[in-house]
Structure 1
Amino acid sequence: MIKKAFTATFAVFLTANVQAEAVGLYLGGQVWQSEASGVFGEINALRDFDLAKEYQNNYFVAIEHPFPLLPNIRISSTSLATLGHIRSMQEFSNDNEVYYVDVRVDSDVEANFNVSYIDYTLYYQVFDNGLFSVDLGLSARDFNGSVTVTETTNTTTTTADKIWDEEEHDGHDHPPITETTTTVEANNKKTNDIEPMLYVASSISLPLTGVSVFAQGDFSLINDHSLYDYQLGLSYDLINNVMVDFNLTLGYRAVKMEFQDVNSLYTDLEFKGAFVGVIAHF
């Protein structure tokens, strides 16, 4: 009896060791220069702020295991930040027989878009033959950030005498009178929504090259919001041994965020551009 118990315990221990060795830990990150385009603001005041190109970053950790009924886990963090502005000038004049009035309005609107999100993903590797793999799962995208719009308006009013009659003229100069008024308004919108998304990933290895082609994306599952986040690229094995695999990745990434009334915030934005990254597999 003791011998059977010892044998069973040893078998369980050995099996656990084999399974533990099959568990894989992935750590990775990206830097990409995104070109932002689109509009955002309140429902009746959507504006194109001529958003600037900025470098964005992304980090992720993933754990894959051999247990068929349990999903693999992936957690990814992405930050999107950019600045934009709108500058305009309007001038109004009033000219009559007595005086001349000139009103100039200079408006400078600056937008600070700073939104980040964390993806909590559960997925299964539905196919893998060593050369071609497909992953399928669900993501919960947890948004956190704010959009701040600051509008500075300078109103300059110049009033000058137009004419004087000989009887009215007192012999003194009447210089123009200029008055400037500055108004600053700031509007801050925050978002902290959680959006469900479909997660899909695939990879094709090119034999004898150390190069693989990959595609990965998250796509929204709610009709009220149009969200997607996909990337296409190449991965190259810099280091490949029993201890660690270290890959360099190059590719193209696009993020779409179209929100309808998220805390009174409306957006129709797209960030896209080339990226470079690394992935370590232990």
Structure 2
Amino acid sequence: MKKIAIASLLAAAASSQVQADTIGIYAGAYAWQPSVSDSTEVGDLGFDFDADDNATSYYIALEHPIPIIPNARIQRTDVTADNKYSVGELDLSHTDATLYYEVLDNWVHLDLGLTARVFDGQIKNGISNVAIDDTVPMVYGNVMIELPLDFYAGVYGNATNLNDYQVYDFTARVGWEAILGLGIEAGYRTFNAQIDGLSKNASVDTTFKGPFAGLSYHF
């Protein structure tokens, strides 16, 4: 029995190693419908915004078998909110460039790394524009569990509390992957940004949150 148990453990370890020692490409795109909670200010002017229903996000990640070199992931999110009462817009669109390592890679997947979030948005108030264009370092984490019948579930996200940026951004998702790698994905994303120190005494304290649905691909 002891020999059988040891053989089983060795086989499981070998299977896990084979799975880890492959090149994988992960990609996806989804439509996001967030509501917005906002207290954006420019000088002494406050603004109330409605979320844009056309928020979108798409990503691609590359994983490889070289242990010392991190894996890479890029995600783009376009998200804006229109002012309720006058001409104006809050744009918190950004690109995430992430380097991460696979800590676990079997039926439970755990990735940890660092993200550079590049904001390229702005605040428009009908009179002047305030740029939101900093690059912010963030901690990245991703947990995913493989489920029966090619389903999976997990949570991934980024967070930082640095200088004038306090940001957290978490996505809970479930998905199903077909034999050829094409799948569907749905979930809920919460993106909170507290930003101070902008020009013209502007500040942002906003939460975008809501469901999303889209397509995924794994090769």
State the TM-score, normalizing by the size of structure 2.
Answer: 0.85
The CA distance in 2 between the partners of 1:52 and 1:196, in whole Å, is: 26
Which structure dedicates a bigger proportion of its chain to strand?
Answer: 1
> CA offsets, 1:14-73, max 9 Å, x none?
xxxx9xx8211122111111111111122533x241424522101111100011111000
Q: Which of 108, 126, 151 does residue 103 from structure 2 map onto?
A: 126
- Kept after mapping to 2: 8 A contact 1:49/1:111: no
Q: Which of 110, 113, 116 does residue 90 from structure 2 map onto?
A: 113
Matched, 1:187 2:128: yes
The CA distance in 2 between the partners of 1:25 and 1:85, in whole Å, is: 41
The CA distance in 2 between the partners of 1:39 and 1:78, in whole Å, is: 21
Q: How does 1:141-152 map to 2 (within 5 A)?
A: 141-150=117-126
Deviation at residue 112 of structure 1 after TM alignment: 1.3
Q: Which of 145, 155, 176 does residue 236 from structure 1 map onto?
A: 176
> CA offsets, 1:85-109, max 9 Å, x none?
23xxxxxxxxxxxxxxxxxxxxxx3
- Kept after mapping to 2: 8 A contact 1:248/1:277: yes
Bigger CA drift: 133-142 or 212-221? Answer: 212-221
Gapped regions of structure 1 (runs ≥ 5): 1-17, 87-108, 151-185
Which amino acid in structure 2 is aligned with residue 201 of structure 1?
N
The CA distance in 2 between the partners of 1:68 and 1:199, in whole Å, is: 18
Which amino acid in structure 1 is aligned with residue 159 of structure 2?
F
- Kept after mapping to 2: 8 A contact 1:213/1:234: yes
Matched, 1:32 2:32: yes
The CA distance in 2 between the partners of 1:76 and 1:52, in whole Å, is: 20
Which of structure 1's runs of 4+ aligned residues deviate more than 6 A?
none
Number of aligned residues: 200
Q: Computing the radius of gyration over CA atoms, which structure comes out larger, 1 or 2?
A: 1
State the TM-score, normalizing by the size of structure 1.
Answer: 0.67
Q: State the partner residue of 2:205.
A: 268
What percentage of residue pairs aligned between the two structures are identical?
Answer: 30
Q: State the partner residue of 1:62.
A: 61
Q: Secondary structure at the match of 2:146?
A: strand
Matched, 1:256 2:196: no
Gapped regions of structure 2 (runs ≥ 5): 1-17
Measured on the aligned residues, the alpha-carbon RMSD in Å equals 1.9
CA 1:228 to 1:111, structure 2 compared with 1: closer, same or farther past 3 Å? same
The CA distance in 2 between the partners of 1:60 and 1:220, in whole Å, is: 20
The CA distance in 2 between the partners of 1:73 and 1:52, in whole Å, is: 30
Which amino acid in structure 2 is aligned with residue 198 of structure 1?
V
